[in-house]
Amino acid sequence: MCSIFQKLPLSTNMAATARFLGPLLKSSRGSHARIHRLWKCQSGAAATAATTTNTQRIKPQVQPEKRKPKTGILMLNMGGPETLGDVHDFLLRLLLDKDLMSLPVQNLKLAPFIAKRRTPKIQEQYRKIGGDSPIKMWTAKQGEGMVKLLDEISPHAAPHKYYNGFRYVHPLTEEAIEEMEEDGLDRSIAFTQYPQYSCSTTGSSLNAIYRYYNKVGKKPKMKWKLDQFPPEKRGDVVILFFAYSLPMSAVNRGDSYPQEVGGTVQTVMEKLGYSNSYRLAWQSKVGPMPWLGPQTYETIKGLCERGRKNILLVPIAFTSDHIETLYELDIEYSQKFANECGVENIRRTESLNGNPLFSKALADLVHSHIKSNEMCSKQLTLSCPLCVNPVCRETKSFFTNQQL
């Protein structure tokens, strides 16, 4: 059985964003021949705005043992350490991923050195948010809700089963693929959980799938959140969207990530009727090299210096809470840094996490993808104009040359 890889067009992703945000906003105001699976790829998660309530840690349920799964959905994400002891290996894998970042000297000597030095600091950050990353928990909740709905709306492809495929923690992408192979699926769909495409995120996960087979030879209520600001301040609130930053070297090669993030921001603001001023900032810069800016902390400081001291933080590129939201935003920015800058009111919209509407968005996207019978989007076939990664080109060729 041949292998195919499918990815929804970018326009479908953006349309889904608008479709699922709208109602909530209104209501609130071996060898290659041995590859056995049918591989398809679903583009990034659709819904991108979020509600705001207190985040509760919910223990993920184990998928019930039922009939042999027919359709598998591989949920691709970076993952996060489950214990403080996992932090070092998480950092080491991240630093060794040349698809994510290119260091001046990126090898088996420098990466362990950096990981060892940064581990205590990062462990302390995780300790302040409970000692672990909730990414796996929320991915499980999202997956459970998605496959339950898929079994109802797409019975011909049922039973459906989700698989976590993380880049830097267990279960690694390669481990998830092995489990899918063992399950003997009729069809497999790679579903990236990064809302916007980048060679450093979704691209890294797709490359991991390619490398595996090559090696083995085989919407929430934005208006409701704004209403939590004092009535006299609501019109003055600046909506500050933020996303992972990206090295300018990658941007200058033609990575489409900045445009896709900007497109998502515009979609959300259109649904809000441009009710407030807004800006897009970037976070998690690493090292001295130039990255996309301005950084989130620089933006908050600059807004306060110019008298705009009521700020709503919106994690536009994340589908669940993790260290960047729970520590950087909730503790560093919203508490420490906000006090230093003289912020009057600062709020953060909650990540999508286990929101039922988001589970429905995931299920509807996969369902429409199954019905489309498309090989992949034209966008997936296009490499960055100045791409220097030969594996990226090989990966695109590997997936797009499969037969439907």
Q: Is the pLDDT of residue 400 over 60?
A: yes
**109, 256 in Cβ contact below 8 A?**
no
pLDDT category at 79 given cuts 50, 70, 90 is: very high
pLDDT reported for residue 17: 39
Side chain identity at residue 225, one-letter code: K
Q: What is the DSSP letter of 396?
A: H
pLDDT category at 227 given cuts 50, 70, 90 is: low
Query: Where do we find the tokens 């595996």?
Result: 212
pLDDT reported for residue 54: 41
SS3 73: strand
Write the CA distances from 33 to 173, 214, 246, 294, integer angstroms: 20, 11, 36, 47
Q: How does pLDDT run across 353-381, given as a tens digit for each residue? A: 888 888 888 888 888 877 877 767 777 77
For a pLDDT cut of 70, what percent of the chain falls above it? Answer: 78
| Domain boundaries along the sequence of the chain | 10-220+353-400, 222-348
pLDDT reported for residue 157: 84
80 phi, psi to nearest 5 deg: -155, 155
Reported in sequence order, the residue ranges of 182-309 that DSSP labels E, i.e. its strands, are 187-192, 238-244, 277-283
pLDDT category at 338 given cuts 50, 70, 90 is: confident
> Residue 284's Cα: distance from chain center in Å?
14
pLDDT reported for residue 6: 38
Q: What's the mean pLDDT when you consider all of the chain?
A: 77
Given CATH 3.40.980.10, say whether it is the number of domain 10-220+353-400. no
pLDDT reported for residue 24: 33
Q: Is the pLDDT of residue 168 over 50?
A: yes
Q: Is the pLDDT of residue 7 over 80?
A: no
pLDDT reported for residue 104: 58
- What six digits make up the tokens of 398? 């590997």
pLDDT category at 335 given cuts 50, 70, 90 is: confident
Per-residue pLDDT, averaged over 44-51, amounts to: 37
> Residue 3's Cα: distance from chain center in Å?
25
pLDDT reported for residue 225: 59
Give 30-36's long-range contacts (Cβ < 8 A, gap of 24+): 30/216, 30/217, 30/218, 31/217, 31/218, 32/3, 32/213, 32/214, 32/217, 32/218, 32/398, 33/218, 34/216, 34/217, 34/218, 35/1, 35/2, 35/3, 35/213, 35/218, 36/1, 36/181, 36/184, 36/218
For a pLDDT cut of 90, what percent of the chain falls above it? Answer: 22
Q: Report the DSSP pairing between strands 310-315 and 238-244.
A: parallel
The domain defined by 222-348 folds into: Rossmann fold (3.40.50)
pLDDT reported for residue 11: 35
Are domains 10-220+353-400 and 222-348 of this chain identical in fold? yes
Q: How does pLDDT run across 318-333, given as a tens digit for each residue? A: 888 888 888 888 888 8
pLDDT reported for residue 239: 94
Q: Is the pLDDT of residue 16 over 70?
A: no
If one compares 178 and 19, the residue with the highest pLDDT of the two is 178
Q: How does pLDDT run across 116-152, given as a tens digit for each residue? A: 999 999 999 999 999 999 999 999 999 999 999 999 8
The count of C-alpha atoms lying within 13 angstroms of the C-alpha of 281, restricted to the half-sphere facing its C-beta, is 25
Side chain identity at residue 317, one-letter code: A
Q: Is the pLDDT of residue 45 over 50?
A: no
- What six digits make up the tokens of 183? 């399950």
pLDDT reported for residue 122: 93
Helix (H), strand (E) at residue 112: helix 110-128
If one compares 114 and 50, the residue with the highest pLDDT of the two is 114
pLDDT reported for residue 155: 87
The count of C-alpha atoms lying within 13 angstroms of the C-alpha of 57, restricted to the half-sphere facing its C-beta, is 11
pLDDT reported for residue 82: 93
Q: Is the pLDDT of residue 47 over 80?
A: no
pLDDT reported for residue 336: 82
Cα distance from N-terminal residue to C-terminal residue, the chain: 10
Q: Is the pLDDT of residue 404 over 70?
A: no
Alpha-carbon gap, residue 253 to 386, rounded angstroms:
5
What is the number of other CB atoms lying within 10 angstroms of the CB of residue 165?
A: 28
